[in-house]
Structure 1
Amino acid sequence: MNKPQNTIASTDRRDFLKVSLGLALTSTGSVSMMSFASATASGSLNAYVHIDTDGSITIFGPNPEVGQGVNTSLPMIVAEELDASWDDVVCKAAPVAQQYGMQFAGGSLSIPMRWDEMRKVGAIARDMLCQAAAKNWEVPKDQLVTNRSVVSHPPTGRQAPYSDLVAAASLLPVPAQDTISLKTPDQYRLLGKRVPNASAQDIATGKPIFGIDASTPGMVYASFVKCPAIGGVAKSANLTAVKSLPGVLDAFIVDGTPGPYNFDIRESFAVQSGVAIVAKNTWAAFKARDSLEVQWDLSSASTDDSDVIETQALAALASEKMQSEIERTGDVDTAFATASLTVDATYSTDFVSHAQLEPQGVLVSAATADVQVWTSSQTPVFITQNLSKLLDVTPESITVHQLRGGGGFGRRLSNEYVFEAALISRRIGAPVKLQWKREDDMAFDYFRAPTYYRLQGALDRNGKLTGWKNLVAAASADGEKANYGAGYRAFDFPGKVIPNVAIGQSFVPSKTPTGAWRAPISNVYAFAEQSFIAEMAHNADQDHRDFLLDAIGDQGWIKEGDMASLNTERARAVIETATKAAGWGRKLAEGRGLGLAFFLSHSGHIAEVAEVSVEGKRITVHDVWVAADVGQVVNLSGLENQLQGSVVDGLSTMAAQTITIKNGAIVQSNYDQYPLLRMPQSPRVHVEVVDSGYRPTGAGEPALPPLAPAVCNAVFNACGERIRALPISKAGFTIV
């Protein structure tokens, strides 16, 4: 029965439940219960667990599902502590409501932020079912056992399914949390096993479960045309001619906010200026765009040129221009002055797009004060407050329905497309389904920022890394702080591991919007850092693995209790696991090489080894070994999926993906100019899970950062050419 329920249109949930046990976390973080009667009276079911009289157990997943698998893994955590049979479980997206706290998908946080909460919800529900059985059978509760949705009393042989007990259990007071015992890992029956994604069948059979599938009676369709030069303002357009086209209902200018806007997912409800075309269907709206003629005011628009940005950034690094110091430890000058070997190299990466398969789209009904939104946003929790300000309605009058997203990677953290649709719906007086074209999605992305690092290392006479410099040239809109993802953030390595470290930055002008892209900053900095470590090892005539292990050291957990902090024991374990699995040190044929990289990202300690062969400029990536320590495994198949997907995504991005900008406008418009990796180019991915016994952390992002340096290090070992700029197509390389 473990399949999802995703309702597109509103349904009456009261018809769904006959008897329920509803457990939810309150706004204070404590666990509360809503009986069926209370839920019906309030008109809202703000609960995680519902047990129906037919034996089905509905478990609500509070966080958005955009392909990372939390629609399955979060209910698994509840089901484990509940001792529910997974065959009885129905996975359903939770309503967007205050009782569910921070409902967002980002930072690989869904599992770690919900781990304790979901365990408590399941354990308390199980305890209350046992209380009901103990009272009914007049036996001590501690003599009862639970398994596969059944409470049993071994001394008497009595048994009862949860569905027979839930009515009585719902009348009991919620036990104090400190009286509830949670399972230890050796007691897990479900967690750590391979469980198919709850949406797999619906996806495979084409069920309408995605945001792009949303519909409601009386809706119309809209397309929104913005200035190609980001931030330009629509002055006038041939609106009368467009309105006369077949299927077009209306066309009008939306004033919006002049200039490129910033990546602000919490507070902003700004939209850019543009022309809205409203039609009877999507095709009519898209077709009408071909006849639209707009006069744009470019006075506030970006004038960026990506080639100029790169030239200025590299020049700043070459001249050692530094406007601010970010970090300094030890005596860096002495470390370099007394070094037996110094290494100096510059690494760079280009703008890239999220390029998620499902372009931005949303259905909004804002014709009245009763506003409804159907969206695959990664941050539905932030829609209500911002939309209430935009439309001047109360937050309580807004209902947000979360639907599955066709990929996000950080792009769906921003909700500007929701606000666009809301303004159009309010103007037209009907529900509006706004659909961006692929070209819109690529032209008006929050791009991964370009990055430029000049790294310098100092090695003493024993070949030990004693000094580290990093000069960053960061794109900046105001000349005072780096644009999102363009700068540097403090990492435990090298700052808290290498004794002498200096990190500074300068700025180059850029107004192109940038934002969170799968594993922000880590996704680019890891390429530079881990490639440079391999470069230093080679120059010092040392084995890369041994040099890396020595550089990391054996300090243990740098900041005890902080899951995001480097744990050198965990780091060493994944490096040793990955290199052992790959057969590090084995003799390879000419033109073939192994490359290694390690990175701590989003609390996941990940090491990867790539095996490649190089013929001229043609690279074949044969195998990638991933050793991952992300703590307690929830869903093994989900974990493997995320690790394998990160490898493919990372390889796709490093191969040939680049966004170029001319006169503030994006040059690339679709996948023909922005190629995705094809199946024949994909390597075999071998996953090694390292069980360290720690609490779980996320897996959606941490395996991506080590991929590019592992592959580029392998290319160097295969052919002797060091790649210092991504994508590798800039150096003439292709993945075949």
Structure 2
Amino acid sequence: MSRPASSSRRRFLGQSAGVALLLGVQASGAIAALADNGAQEPAAGDFVPNAFIRIGTDGRVTLVSKQPEIGQGIKTSLPMVLAEELEVDWKSVRVVQGDLNPIYGSQGAGGSTSTPTNYDNFHRLGATARTMLVRAAAQTWNVPAAECRAENGAVVHGASGRKLGYGALVRAASALPVPDAKEVVPKDPATYGLLGTRVGGVDNALVVSGQPLFGIDTHLPGMLYATYVKCPVPGGRPVEANLDAIKRMPGVKAAFLVEGTENLNGLRPGVAIVADSTWNAFRARKNLKVTWDEGEGARHSWAGFLAAAQAASGQPGAAVMRKDGDVDAALAGAARTVEANYVYPFISHASMEPQNCTAWFKPLEGTLELWAPTQNPGAGQALVSTTFNIPKDKILLHITRSGGGFGRRLSSDFIVEAAAIAQKVKAPVKLTWMREDDLQHDHFRAGGFHFLRGGVDEQGKVVAWHDHFVTFANRIEKKESDGGSASVLQPGSGGNLSGDEFPGRWLANCLIEQTPLECRIPMGPWRAPGSNVFAWVFHSFIDELAHAAGRDPLAFRLDLLGDKDLVAGTGERGVPYNVGRMRNVLKAVAEKSGWGQRKFARGQGAGIAFHFSHRGYVAEVAEVTVSKEGRLRVDRVVVVADIGAQIVNLSGAENQVQGSVIDGLSTLMYPALDIDKGRIVQSNFHDYALLRMPDTPSKIETHFLKTDYPVTGLGEPVFPPLAPAVCNAIFAATGKRVRELPLSKADLSWS
């Protein structure tokens, strides 16, 4: 069990390592959380040049991974960067998980930001430690540092052949000042020996052998177990419950109402049951009877939302996100026009590990200790602090491995629930959600409706584009500049359509409008927010326009992109859209897939799509077979990605590509949530289907273009193009367009 750093540890760091700088933060204070499954704190003689590296007198190198590990492989890849610069054998390195601590800088894992945020800094951190070790050896031998080099965990003097292992240099290196940034030279990428190779995940052996790594595995002496029941209608609250009867059930230690707050993404009102085992808590829950005040949300239904969206289509009053030229005039003069409506539902994250958190409140000290599988530990700490008025420095949060996240664990509702329960009991308590809780009380990916019109001229070029997007929004109180507040509608995460979305800035006549539908359904980030559905809509409709123009889908897309190297304006997250990079991945995927070189039989076809998402440029070709009865098989998916100058871990990168393709296909084919009387109808995997192994693509081919651009992440950018590539291939095979998700609703049969 981890604990805050002691004063003796702070003295040690001050004496041995001096002032180590990371991201502008001094490391002379406490470095908490160098523990993972009982890992020990730095020994008194260790070399600790910064918060992420420690080297023992035995030469053992321990590296701290600060980002949450949610399956994206960051616990392996970022330490690999340190090891590359340190010139150490990866097999001899130990990697431990760092807990939440401001000394580490940003510790969130979302938006494919972990790699681009930390990559360059980690090179400098590793190079700084290497520089200090080389200088320590040079001073020991009384030779110029320029004559020495680091190599396989040792420093070698080239002229004499003398060698000192890092362990022997610990004391001398600890006495040196941290060199100025100008004195530190990271390695030439051409000399990398570790980066770009295939490296297995540092936790792989522990995962496959069932070792306790995940939040749900947390166990503390004297721990109690809790379940938390919320109103089936978001925004509702309990009026009364049969608490006395529940308290009399076997193993139950406590049962009580929690008042909660108005924040749909925070501590929602509910009923807590605490028992001596998870089984007894869940058994008592089955006997719980609650009278709910369901509130305004009980009026919601998917059928009602669909009717409201259809009524809003084409009506005045929509917010204009982009308006260039005269769309109506361009459509009137177009050689061919296409109109189409695209619809997609609310869906759940459905991560394998249900939400859970262990909390231990110590009233005498006024401290709260948390163990949580979270993607955003800082936000979790902040939510607990503001909800209960506990100072942040009194909240210690241990980051456990997460059994999947996909954006769900960026929210912290399960953490604040555990904190609320812990303050009512005199023992550590683990809150575990049931699968039904996870599905029905998610912060969902918002559904949406797109009403599209487009036109092409006689030369087959797009001359007009109109998208009226009907989205979903929660009503919130927003502070104004004069200190007051106003009630506003805020679209859910990924439910706000930017006017810069492709192909908006590429067309002379473009109108993008947005109408929000108010709802009480909590929404949150879902893998590749926005892009995960916008890519399907836009690149499917582009395919419709290509077909109307009678043109090859690849040539049509290249023509639409144009040949300007950089389009004016900014795209996603303020990042410019580099047309040259996108053209290159499109051309490469066409080459790798043999686009246009094969004649498909009826019922077989290929589709192509691309998308710029989370700083990554990705193009994909899908090849499918559809039986006459409408049974779909995805035979082959070819992916080409440009994510910058370096693939950190080739094994991890390929894993992310393959996982994105499979996840994208699953999301396209099966999941959908129905809403009735404000409730999510589906309850578990028996009525919320996901892709099974026999339905996965027969072949997934992965190709990376190495370019002279900053290194970016890979957890999300491959996901968005999959759905349109498959749907475009289905059209090529059957002549049928897919305009509503999930695909399982569509009749793909042909004759």
Could you tell me how far 1:311 is from its partner in structure 2? 2.4
C-alpha distance after superposition, 1:533-572 (max 9, x if no partner): 1111111110000001111112113369988332111111
For residues 522 and 315 of structure 2, the distance between their equivalents in structure 1, rounded to whole angstroms, comes to 26
Could you tell me how far 1:492 is from its partner in structure 2? 5.1
Could you tell me how far 1:210 is from its partner in structure 2? 0.5
SS in 1 for 2:503: helix
Change (3 A) 1:668 1:21: farther
Change (3 A) 1:312 1:588: same
Within 5 Å, which residues of 2 pair with 1:694-733?
Answer: 694-732=709-747
SS in 1 for 2:287: coil
Within 5 Å, which residues of 2 pair with 1:522-537?
Answer: 522-537=531-546
For residues 200 and 17 of structure 2, the distance between their equivalents in structure 1, rounded to whole angstroms, comes to 26
Within 5 Å, which residues of 2 pair with 1:121-520?
Answer: 121-258=125-262, 261-263=263-265, 270-317=266-313, 319-368=314-363, 369-478=366-475, 480-491=489-500, 493-520=502-529
Change (3 A) 1:32 1:529: farther
For residues 451 and 678 of structure 1, the distance between their equivalents in structure 2, rounded to whole angstroms, comes to 26
Could you tell me how far 1:192 is from its partner in structure 2? 1.1
For residues 506 and 426 of structure 1, the distance between their equivalents in structure 2, rounded to whole angstroms, comes to 43
Change (3 A) 1:288 1:639: same
Tell whether the 8 Å contact from 2:42 to 2:54 is kept in structure 1 after alignment: no
Tell whether the 8 Å contact from 2:17 to 2:175 is kept in structure 1 after alignment: no
C-alpha distance after superposition, 1:498-556 (max 9, x if no partner): 23221112232322111100000000000000001111111111000000111111211
Could you tell me how far 1:299 is from its partner in structure 2? 2.9
Could you tell me how far 1:322 is from its partner in structure 2? 4.3
Could you tell me how far 1:329 is from its partner in structure 2? 2.5
- 2:656 is equivalent to residue 647 of structure 1: no
Could you tell me how far 1:339 is from its partner in structure 2? 2.2
Q: Report the residue type matching 2:178 in the other structure.
A: V
Match of 1:4 in 2: none
Could you tell me how far 1:111 is from its partner in structure 2? 0.2
Match of 1:597 in 2: 609
Could you tell me how far 1:186 is from its partner in structure 2? 1.1
SS in 1 for 2:423: helix
For residues 107 and 516 of structure 2, the distance between their equivalents in structure 1, rounded to whole angstroms, comes to 35
For residues 200 and 224 of structure 2, the distance between their equivalents in structure 1, rounded to whole angstroms, comes to 37
Change (3 A) 1:23 1:286: farther
C-alpha distance after superposition, 1:626-646 (max 9, x if no partner): 111111211111111111101
SS in 1 for 2:491: coil
Within 5 Å, which residues of 2 pair with 1:61-100?
Answer: 61-100=65-104
Percent identical residues: 42
Match of 2:639 in 1: 626
Change (3 A) 1:560 1:59: farther
C-alpha distance after superposition, 1:106-162 (max 9, x if no partner): 000000000121111001000000110110011111111112211111110011111
SS in 1 for 2:347: coil
TM-score by length of 2: 0.91
SS in 2 for 1:725: coil
Name which of 578, 584, 606 aligns with 1:567. Answer: 578
Could you tell me how far 1:698 is from its partner in structure 2? 0.7
Tell whether the 8 Å contact from 1:233 to 1:297 is kept in structure 2 after alignment: yes
Change (3 A) 1:664 1:689: same
Could you tell me how far 1:53 is from its partner in structure 2? 2.2
SS in 2 for 1:132: helix
Query: Any stretches of 5+ residues in structure 2 without a counterpart?
Result: 35-40, 476-487
Match of 1:606 in 2: 618
Name which of 673, 676, 681 aligns with 1:659. Answer: 673
Could you tell me how far 1:300 is from its partner in structure 2? 4.7
Tell whether the 8 Å contact from 1:111 to 1:697 is kept in structure 2 after alignment: yes
Q: Report the residue type matching 1:359 in the other structure.
A: P
Could you tell me how far 1:476 is from its partner in structure 2? 2.6
Tell whether the 8 Å contact from 1:22 to 1:49 is kept in structure 2 after alignment: no
Tell whether the 8 Å contact from 1:144 to 1:154 is kept in structure 2 after alignment: yes
SS in 2 for 1:75: helix
Could you tell me how far 1:39 is from its partner in structure 2? 7.6
For residues 281 and 24 of structure 1, the distance between their equivalents in structure 2, rounded to whole angstroms, comes to 45
Could you tell me how far 1:305 is from its partner in structure 2? 0.4
Match of 1:582 in 2: 593
- 2:576 is equivalent to residue 540 of structure 1: no
Tell whether the 8 Å contact from 1:23 to 1:47 is kept in structure 2 after alignment: no
Tell whether the 8 Å contact from 1:302 to 1:512 is kept in structure 2 after alignment: no
Change (3 A) 1:302 1:104: farther
Query: Any stretches of 5+ residues in structure 1 without a counterpart?
Result: 1-7, 264-269
Question: Which is worse superposed, 614-623 or 452-461?
Answer: 452-461
Tell whether the 8 Å contact from 1:366 to 1:425 is kept in structure 2 after alignment: yes
Tell whether the 8 Å contact from 1:77 to 1:118 is kept in structure 2 after alignment: yes
C-alpha distance after superposition, 1:368-407 (max 9, x if no partner): 2121101111011223333233333322222111010000
Question: Which is worse superposed, 389-398 or 304-313?
Answer: 389-398
For residues 386 and 286 of structure 1, the distance between their equivalents in structure 2, rounded to whole angstroms, comes to 27
For residues 110 and 63 of structure 2, the distance between their equivalents in structure 1, rounded to whole angstroms, comes to 21
Tell whether the 8 Å contact from 2:20 to 2:178 is kept in structure 1 after alignment: no
Q: Report the residue type matching 2:191 in the other structure.
A: Q
C-alpha RMSD of the superposition: 2.6
Tell whether the 8 Å contact from 2:225 to 2:278 is kept in structure 1 after alignment: yes
For residues 343 and 19 of structure 2, the distance between their equivalents in structure 1, rounded to whole angstroms, comes to 50
For residues 159 and 733 of structure 1, the distance between their equivalents in structure 2, rounded to whole angstroms, comes to 69
Aligned residue pair count = 715
Question: Which is worse superposed, 348-357 or 482-491?
Answer: 482-491
For residues 131 and 508 of structure 2, the distance between their equivalents in structure 1, rounded to whole angstroms, comes to 52
Q: Report the residue type matching 1:353 in the other structure.
A: S
Tell whether the 8 Å contact from 1:492 to 1:565 is kept in structure 2 after alignment: no
SS in 1 for 2:424: helix
For residues 26 and 725 of structure 2, the distance between their equivalents in structure 1, rounded to whole angstroms, comes to 45
Match of 1:5 in 2: none
For residues 520 and 510 of structure 1, the distance between their equivalents in structure 2, rounded to whole angstroms, comes to 19
For residues 378 and 698 of structure 1, the distance between their equivalents in structure 2, rounded to whole angstroms, comes to 15
Could you tell me how far 1:733 is from its partner in structure 2? 5.2
Q: Report the residue type matching 1:672 in the other structure.
A: H
For residues 40 and 372 of structure 1, the distance between their equivalents in structure 2, rounded to whole angstroms, comes to 25
Tell whether the 8 Å contact from 1:151 to 1:160 is kept in structure 2 after alignment: yes
Could you tell me how far 1:194 is from its partner in structure 2? 0.9
Q: Report the residue type matching 2:745 in the other structure.
A: K
Question: Which is worse superposed, 323-332 or 411-420?
Answer: 323-332
- 2:689 is equivalent to residue 678 of structure 1: no
C-alpha distance after superposition, 1:18-47 (max 9, x if no partner): 9986986456357879999x9889x9x871
Tell whether the 8 Å contact from 2:473 to 2:490 is kept in structure 1 after alignment: yes
For residues 560 and 195 of structure 1, the distance between their equivalents in structure 2, rounded to whole angstroms, comes to 39
Change (3 A) 1:118 1:298: same
Match of 1:49 in 2: 53
Tell whether the 8 Å contact from 2:18 to 2:177 is kept in structure 1 after alignment: no
Match of 1:266 in 2: none
Question: Which is worse superposed, 512-521 or 391-400?
Answer: 391-400
C-alpha distance after superposition, 1:642-697 (max 9, x if no partner): 11101111111111110111111111111111111111110121101111121211
Tell whether the 8 Å contact from 1:229 to 1:303 is kept in structure 2 after alignment: no
